[in-house]
Copies of this chain bind each other. A is one copy, B any other.
């Protein structure tokens, strides 16, 4: 942690160099090496609404890989039309985050994947045993789990989570204009984007928004880069957008020092992931930039600075890979979600 803090200080002084080109695939933990059969299975599970209690909500419902990896809404909608309190973070490049969820309460993608399944306002399964039971009723899944995890009790909630995490680690958007620039193509960024890049360094955004995913550098998996938001509470922005109402990481740890602490979110594809902040109250990126200047660094950005920074943030939109649509395995002659 001391080392991590140190690297953030260094990042502050030489931020451009602390940003890295996005690798093709996110790193996998030793316990769950990425394999084609896990990725294939995880992709199917990810799109399967039968993993929700009434068969209406899949992972993809709120983390849509056909678009920005979120849902474009302030807060997400789960089973029975229930709304949560926070927006859906993008799944794209989430394998580069060292912790997951807005409050970092999951130390890995594997941990994260298990949460929404049994959250009563998300996918609403009563418990993980029900998830496993339902999966086991689908013959095609038993085959796919066996292929991915072997014959010894392959269908478990942990293996389901491993497969989904393996799939998510392939959700990477390389070759943004910034990445091309970083690799040496100096024409890849517009002049405005270059000015914006300089601005975020000078203003100090890069103290937190550093590293390969622009959300922290030099952290081990499971180690979070948490920051207070808003750093300066009580501003007009804070009041208007109700940022302080949600106490963030405090709700997980109950430690007073975690009040209003949040995992630093990525900048990659941020131009596509409106609306902004944990409660999605800010509709537009330019306003999000103004908010960040004021609430975090007490800077009133000029309109030119705002537009330049927006141009730079747009340069972080990557290329979304072509994907084959999964086919969900069937249960001929019956359905698993017969009841309302």
Contact = CB atoms under 8 A, between A and B. Distances in A.
Interface of A: 47, 49-50, 54-56, 61, 64-68, 71-75, 77, 79-83, 271-272, 274-275, 280, 283-286, 310, 314, 317, 320, 322-328, 330-340
B81 A82 contact: yes
Nearest to A289: B333
A283 B137 CA distance: 15
Given A66-B326, A333-B274, A340 B55 contact: no
A71 B49 contact: yes
A275 B324 CA distance: 28
A280 B338 CA distance: 8
B272 A332 contact: yes
A137 B280 CA distance: 20
Contacts of A74: 338-340
B330 A66 contact: no
Contact of A271 (B77, B286, B333): B333
Contacts of A82: 81
Contact of A333 (B280, B284, B334): B284
A324 B326 CA distance: 9
Nearest to A328: B67
A55 B73 contact: yes
A124 to B, nearest CB: 11
Contact of A68 (B68, B324, B330, B340): B330
A286 B274 CA distance: 48
Given A49-B64, A333-B314, A324 B324 contact: yes
Contacts of A310: 333
Contacts of A47: 66
Contacts of A284: 333-334
A101 to B, nearest CB: 21
Contacts of A332: 271-272, 285, 314, 317
A327 B272 contact: no
Contacts of A73: 54-56, 335, 337-338, 340
A320 B328 CA distance: 11
A329 B283 CA distance: 18
A280 B283 CA distance: 40
A67 to B, nearest CB: 4
Contacts of A64: 49, 328
A50 B317 CA distance: 21
B275 A335 contact: yes
A34 to B, nearest CB: 20
Q: Nearest 10 pairs between A and B by C-beta?
A: A81-B81, A274-B335, A285-B333, A67-B328, A283-B338, A271-B332, A80-B81, A72-B335, A323-B325, A325-B325
A334 B80 contact: no
Contacts of A65: 325
Contact of A66 (B283, B327, B334): B327
A287 to B, nearest CB: 10
A170 to B, nearest CB: 13
Given A71-B55, A75-B340, A77-B54, A283 B334 contact: yes
